[in-house]
Amino acid sequence: MTMNEVEKANEFRDQTDDVMQYDQAIKCSNGFWNVRQRTRYGYLNEKCEEITPIKYEAPADFKGGFAIVKYDRTYFKLDENGNEIMI
């Protein structure tokens, strides 16, 4: 799946089998998920575990192990562990 393909169910189960529901879920090229709740975005890893809070202003795909994200008028380089590096 590419970043443009949207998961229709928008429901994921975490490790405790609880259902997490999002308004939109888009599969990234690295196997992660970009998820939206209301007007904010966050990321799930390939195991559907949240690696970031739902706080970013726009979705971005991972390229070279990083995604460029915006939060509170500041841009960050986000790694696949959810760590932010201000740019």
Q: Which domains does the chain have, with CATH numbers?
A: 11-86 (2.40.10)
pLDDT in tens, 4-32: 444 445 666 655 656 678 888 888 989 99
3-state SS of 28-44?
CCCCCEEEEECCEEEEE
Burial environment of residue 41 by CB neighbours within 10 A (0 to 12, 13 to 18, 19 or more): buried
Q: How far apart are CA 34 and CA 78, in angstroms?
A: 12
**pTM for this one?**
0.79
Q: How far apart are CA 34 and CA 60, in angstroms?
A: 8
3-class DSSP state for residue 78? Answer: strand
